[in-house]
Homo-oligomer: A and B are copies of this chain.
Amino acid sequence: MEKITKILLTENEMPRKWYNIMADMPNKPLPPLHPATGKPVGPDDLSVIFPMELIKQEVSTERYIEIPDEVLDLYRTFRPSPLFRAHNLEKALGTKSKIYYKYEGGNYSGSHKANTAIPQAYYNKMEGVRRITTETGAGQWGSAMSYACNHFGLELLVFMVRVSYEQKPGRKLMMNAYNARVVPSPSTMTVAGRKVLELDPESPGSLGIAISEAMEIAAQDPYTKYSLGSVLNHVILHQTIIGEEALIQFNKAGDYPDVVIGCFGGGSNFSGISFPFLRENLTNGRQTRLVAVEPASCPKLTMGKFTYDFGDQSGMTPLLPMYTLGHNFIPDKIHAGGLRYHGAGVLVSQLRKDGFVEAKAKMQRECFEGAMLFARTEGILPAPESSYAIAGALDEARRADLEGVSKTILFNLSGHGHFDITAYEKYFEDYLPDHEATPEEIELSLANSAVPTF
């Protein structure tokens, strides 16, 4: 049999449905609560900031949801994404294991974020929305949304976490290229932003703050809605096309993963690749391990508390049942900006609580080392976020070799690092500090992040 390096699918083999894990979860997640009443939020509460179709998806328990034709049309420009066998990396490691990666960086946005940007823009357009506000950390989500909104004729206003805005001017310009307006967050445009700036004019910002700002603007105008790039159930839903494709590709390759690994910020790329494999565990007797890798500086899954918390910094979202470091937690300025979020999505949190998902935390230097090894062997320069998944995969391969076994390892290479070259420069200059959040720090943050009780 000839050596195969990548498993491709044609457009006709592309899945036509997203998978909803809610249908197969043994314990359904607790409901989001209205912070004023303590009652579960209903569709009407959410309709101020989201279009109805996305709200329906947010609460749906249907196993599969059809992908609209207009979305498939744009998916076709970059999907199905390739599944690679990392022959050169395996050789450099001298491992007995087989390492595969699903590459989501080959599209216009350079990351998996395009998978949900397109349907979100589409559903908003269908419901008469004219403008969207959103936040972006590393800039991948903002880039993804910029093109999608421009395609469907929507305006876009992006609040970009200040530290990323400064580290990554290329991402800002890319969003401008796709006609979006980009504002560093915290900004003076909103009450939420001004409050943060009063306390700390030098605030590096956080995803939590940027979400507050974007939601505040959206709530002021009926034709403006808000859009989130991770965490929420409908976002996770759209990302499942990654894992659905991977299942078909493994079938073609005559192989099946023992472990599936993703980096973890809010949960969208990890859930996207792993939930279809979890379905196979739950319904088809498979036993694939699912491993989320998060930064040691922002370790909600490994050191956070499972509790109701806000999804944003200023308390505008419903209360969500999740692993959290507290909505006031400001993570260290690591270069994986997309992982600097205080909480984990509701679905992953419940699954983690119930033991279906493993998690581990990693320091950024080790992840950059893994990224360099990967770049020099496989060629692709990874996004700093994706480097956490790489480090997780290297751990698995090394452990298997120590145990004298061969494993089939799949990780999600969620994006490329072409706009993260400043981070790599710091790595070369040996100026890439490690930071580990301490239990005391987290306890303090949780104490400072009180939420209403009922």
Contacts and interface: CB of A to CB of B under 8 A. Distances in A.
Interface of A: 2-6, 8, 10-12, 73, 76-78, 84, 87-88, 106-110, 147, 150-151, 169-170, 173-174, 176-179, 372, 375-381, 416, 418-419, 421, 424-425, 428
A178 B381 CA distance: 9
B11 A4 contact: yes
Given A6-B76, A73-B3, A179 B376 contact: yes
Nearest to A78: B379
8 contacts: A4-B11, A5-B11, A5-B73, A6-B77, A78-B379, A151-B376, A174-B421, A418-B418
Contacts of A150: 376
Copies in the complex: 2
A301 B174 CA distance: 33
Nearest to A171: B421
Nearest to A147: B379
A282 to B, nearest CB: 33
A3 B421 CA distance: 38
Nearest to A179: B376
Contact of A178 (B88, B179, B376, B425): B376
Nearest to A69: B3
Given A106-B106, A108-B375, 20 more contacts: A2-B11, A5-B73, A6-B11, A6-B76, A78-B379, A88-B151, A109-B379, A147-B379, A150-B376, A151-B377, A170-B170, A173-B424, A173-B428, A176-B428, A177-B372, A177-B375, A177-B376, A177-B381, A177-B424, A179-B376
A173 B425 contact: yes
Contact of A170 (B2, B379, B418): B418
A2 B425 CA distance: 46
A84 B77 contact: yes
Contacts of A11: 2, 4-6
Q: Give me the 4 closest cross-chain CB pairs, A-B, nearest first.
A: A108-B379, A418-B418, A5-B76, A170-B421
Contacts of A380: 108
A4 B372 CA distance: 37
Contacts of A173: 421, 424-425, 428
A173 to B, nearest CB: 5
A91 to B, nearest CB: 10
Nearest to A84: B77
A151 to B, nearest CB: 7
A178 B375 contact: yes
A151 B301 CA distance: 37
A424 B179 CA distance: 13
A288 to B, nearest CB: 25
Nearest to A143: B381
Contacts of A151: 88, 376-377
Contacts of A177: 372, 375-376, 381, 424, 428
Contacts of A425: 169, 173
Given A77-B6, A418-B170, A418-B418, A147 B424 contact: no
A176 B429 CA distance: 11
A5 B108 CA distance: 15
Contacts of A110: 418
Given A88-B151, A173-B424, A428-B176, A77 B418 contact: no
A147 B8 contact: no
Nearest to A86: B77
Contacts of A377: 151
A8 B5 contact: no
A176 B372 CA distance: 11
A315 to B, nearest CB: 36
Contacts of A8: 8, 10
